[in-house]
Structures are given as structure tokens and as C-alpha cells.
Amino acid sequence: MPKPTKYYSSLQEHRIADYYGWSVVVASGARPFHPGDVKSSKWLAECKTHTKETDKLTISKAVWRKLSNEAKSLRKIPILFIDNGTQKIDNTWAVVQGRCIDGQGFENIDAPLNVSEGQITFKHSDFKPLYKGKKAGVSIFVDGNTLYIIRATDLQEIVGEK
């Protein structure tokens, strides 16, 4: 019998929290006034995973907007984590505001994206080789703001809380 989606979500949330030294939000953002899945004193994160390994990853603009509004209300910086279902930090991507990586030595790289009104999709297998040996990000635009898709492992030096 397959495990419920919540099982995989909880694995991802704890993996992210442990990796960065953050904490998991009680009830994983399901309670009023406790938004997000993982947080620190400075950051509020939403985590998205899959129940089995997949190559296609999706960034929902609605999820980003909701997270951004929640983070703003708490005076925190939003981060959206997406993984390919392997539950490995090396296969996890972070969506961050451009200002978070400005001056951090990130190279802006061009990668294939499929952008629609409500979402941005990309293939893990297309992105992974582009980042090899580089500290890089792929820029995307949501509501006139520049966001970057970076490797979750490259975010470690930016958050600086571990």
C-alpha cells in the first residue's frame, strides 16, 4: 500500500529544516497564523515534493504569491523548495527573490523553462548539468519581480544560519 502524500511532505520538511538548522512549522502551515512549512528567524519556506521520482517540476505562481504575502506579514523572506521526489537535498531546488542572491557571485544561466499564466515548469534533468561546478541561478519573473531558481545546496551560504 502506498504511503500518503503527507508522509513524503513531512520527510522533505524535516530534511530541509535539519539541513539549514531551521524548524518545522507545527501542523505544517495548516493552522491559521502559522503559515509555511519550515522557518527560521529570517526565512519562511514552503516545501513541495512528489510521492515518487519525477523529472518534471512545477513552480505554481499562486503558491509563490501566497508564500510571499505570508512571509511579508511576518517580516520574513520567502523561499519555495521543490524536489524531484528522491527526498535528497542534492535534488532540491530553491526559488528565492533576486535581492537575496545579488552580490553573492551567482552566474545567471539560461535554461529551458515552460512559462504559462499560472505556473513555470522545468525538467530536473535539463537543469542539473547546467549547474555543475557553478554557483548559478535561472531567473524567472513573477508579478514583475525577479526570482531565481538555485540549488538548495547553494542556498546554505546565503542563509548562514547553520
Predicted local confidence at residue 17, as pLDDT = 94
For the question of whether the overall pTM of this predicted structure is more than 0.85, the answer is yes
Helical packing angle, 5-20 and 152-159, nearest 10° = 40
pLDDT digits (tens, 9 = 90+) for 10-60: 899 999 999 999 999 986 655 566 688 999 999 999 999 999 999 999 999
